[in-house]
């Protein structure tokens, strides 16, 4: 099957223009584009809650709660509630493009539908899962929307790979390279023909080099008869169980149920299943920050149109050499010297109120008894941030590896990977030795990808 060849192109309606009567609910069709653009700017963490306002409006105007017509009093009430929500967060949203776009969009819609600014407002409602038999729960999806049935109907079981990002932040690439990185600001984790994943990392403390993931955006690209383009966006204290348009699946296409979001733990753990590309994504909020883990077939991992443009695809290439931190050296020095005496020399300055080395080790041992890289990452994070929640971040990252990694012999890693000068480009695409024989023919066939 020939995969989509297009690169990510910003498409859709230009803002709110071109909206006629009855287009109210489709008027937010530009949010996926806007969400991606917002995440492209390396901004500091903001208390702006515009995503919450968007979600409440969609809950009130779609699914079983949708008004019979966009011209009903209920629709105007939902718009007034939306406007009230934006006014309440106005002070903290100055300079936020999504906020200003929403404000102008609300004004346009209220004018189009003759809604007065004064009047009753609607109470936010939570979206409910559709009943059995609804279009979001179809079981008769086309075969093309099930990866293992379509891509490998006449070949062996695909090889699955794993990538994860957690903590301060620590990266495990698709080829099991383990790195600790600075990567402050917005960085792409995945960028292929099927989806894009981008994270924004912000300082844990003012003036500290220690960073953690505060925002995550995932774009699932339009794919044949399976899914419409969908965007998932999470931020600190905002881990939604729906895409930004309020839906929980791949849209209105026949194979829409091949893309689904499931909330495992409210506000803490979300799982996204993209069966049409054989991919599972786990997003968690641990403490204040986010973690990311994915299971993806090698064939999908390598489905990139232009290899030369993949220099910052972190899950595939790893972090740039100048962004890598040798946390094992820090760990060794801390063991011999004491964490507080290393603050000036460490690559990630120690927080004002951190744990003594012995305490950090004891806390990490409780959750991570095997002294592998996840354990060492835990100790590093406690010494550099002073935040005990980073212990749980490392623990859940390892739990996700156990669930998502296809090779159970590689759950624990013991030697981190740091590129040597001169190897930063040459060694980027090297796979683990057992996979190399299978990957070389795949790369040779990449231009035609069949």
Q: pLDDT per residue over 253-308, tens digit each? A: 888 999 999 999 999 999 999 999 999 999 999 999 999 999 999 989 988 876 66
Region 133-140: what's the mean pLDDT? 42
pTM for this entry: 0.63
Token pair belonging to 258? 């091949």
Does residue 314 register a pLDDT over 90? Answer: yes
Domain boundary among 317, 339, 373: 317
Does residue 336 register a pLDDT over 70? Answer: no
Q: Are residues 90 and 231 in the same domain?
A: no
34-72 pLDDT, tens digit each:
344 344 443 344 578 787 788 778 767 765 445 555 557
Domain boundary among 317, 351, 375: 317
Q: Are residues 107 and 146 in the same domain?
A: no
Q: Which domain holds residue 100?
A: 47-111
In angstroms, rounded to a whole number, what is the distance separating the alpha carbons of residues 407 and 290?
25
Q: Per mean pLDDT, which of 178-192, 346-360, 408-422 is the most reliable?
A: 178-192
Q: Are residues 221 and 82 in the same domain?
A: no
Q: Which residues contact 281 (CB under 8 A, 6 or more apart)?
A: 197, 218, 271, 272, 274, 292, 293, 294
Q: Are residues 206 and 302 in the same domain?
A: yes
> Three-state SS for 201?
strand
Res. 141 pLDDT band, cuts 50 70 90: low
At 62 the pLDDT is: 63
Put the strands of the sheet holding 230-235 in their side by side order: 185-191, 195-203, 211-220, 230-235
Q: How far is CA 141 from CA 132, 155, 258, in A?
A: 15, 21, 7
Contact 400, 282 (CB under 8 A): yes
Q: Are residues 98 and 197 in the same domain?
A: no
Domain assignment present for residue 23? The answer is no
Q: Are residues 105 and 154 in the same domain?
A: no
Res. 389 pLDDT band, cuts 50 70 90: very high
Q: Are residues 92 and 148 in the same domain?
A: no
Angle at 435 between CA 429 and CA 437, to 5 degrees: 90
Does residue 445 register a pLDDT over 70? Answer: no
Res. 133 pLDDT band, cuts 50 70 90: very low
Token pair belonging to 121? 């407002």
Number of domains into which the chain is organized: 2
Does residue 82 register a pLDDT over 50? Answer: yes
Q: Per mean pLDDT, which of 30-34, 51-55, 339-343, 396-400 is the most reliable?
A: 396-400
What backbone phi and psi angles, to 5 degrees, belong to 161? -125, 170
Run of H or E including 401:
helix 389-404
162-207 pLDDT, tens digit each:
999 999 999 999 999 999 998 899 999 999 989 999 999 999 888 7
Contact 363, 369 (CB under 8 A): no
In angstroms, rounded to a whole number, what is the distance separating the alpha carbons of residues 276 and 416?
33
In angstroms, rounded to a whole number, what is the distance separating the alpha carbons of residues 230 and 12?
12
Domain boundary among 317, 333, 359: 317
């Amino acid at each position: 099957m020939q995969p989509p060849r297009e690169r990510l192109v910003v498409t859709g309606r230009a803002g709110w223009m071109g909206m006629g009567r009855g287009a109210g609910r489709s008027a937010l069709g530009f949010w996926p584009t806007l969400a991606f653009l917002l995440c492209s700017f390396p901004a500091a963490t903001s208390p702006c809650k515009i995503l919450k306002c968007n979600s409440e409006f969609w809950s009130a105007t779609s699914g079983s709660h949708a008004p019979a017509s966009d011209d009903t009093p209920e629709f105007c009430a939902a718009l007034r509630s939306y406007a009230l929500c934006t006014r309440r967060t106005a002070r903290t949203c100055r300079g936020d493009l999504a906020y200003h776009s929403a404000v102008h969009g609300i004004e346009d819609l209220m004018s189009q539908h003759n809604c007065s600014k004064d009047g009753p407002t609607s109470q936010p409602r939570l979206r409910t899962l559709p009943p059995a038999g609804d279009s979001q729960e179809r079981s008769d999806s086309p075969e093309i929307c099930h990866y293992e049935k379509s891509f490998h109907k006449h070949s062996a079981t695909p090889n699955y790979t794993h990538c994860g990002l957690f903590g301060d932040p620590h990266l495990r690439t698709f080829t099991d390279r383990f790195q600790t990185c600075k990567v402050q600001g917005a960085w792409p984790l995945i960028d292929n023909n099927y989806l894009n994943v981008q994270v924004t990392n912000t300082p844990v403390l003012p003036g500290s080099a220690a960073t953690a993931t505060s925002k995550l955006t995932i774009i699932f690209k339009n794919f044949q008869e399976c899914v419409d383009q969908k965007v998932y966006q999470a931020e600190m204290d905002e881990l939604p169980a729906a895409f930004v348009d309020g839906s929980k699946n791949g849209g209105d296409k026949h194979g829409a149920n091949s893309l689904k979001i499931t909330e495992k733990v409210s506000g803490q753990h979300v799982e996204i299943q993209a069966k049409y590309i054989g991919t599972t994504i786990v997003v968690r909020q641990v403490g204040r920050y986010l973690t990311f883990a994915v299971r993806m077939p090698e064939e999908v991992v390598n489905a990139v149109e232009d290899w030369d443009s993949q220099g910052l695809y972190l899950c595939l290439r790893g972090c740039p050499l100048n962004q890598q931190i040798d946390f094992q050296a820090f760990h060794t020095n801390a063991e011999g010297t004491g964490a507080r005496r290393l603050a000036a020399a460490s690559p990630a300055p120690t927080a004002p109120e951190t744990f003594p080395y012995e305490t950090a080790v004891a806390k990490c041992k409780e959750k991570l008894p095997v002294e592998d890289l996840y354990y060492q990452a835990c100790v590093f994070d406690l010494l550099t941030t002073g935040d005990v929640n980073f212990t749980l971040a490392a623990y859940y990252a390892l739990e996700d590896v156990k669930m998502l990694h296809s090779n159970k012999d590689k759950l624990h890693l013991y030697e981190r990977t740091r590129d040597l000068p001169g190897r930063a480009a040459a060694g980027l695409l090297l796979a683990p030795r057992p996979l190399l024989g299978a990957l070389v023919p795949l790369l040779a066939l990449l231009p035609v990808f069949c």
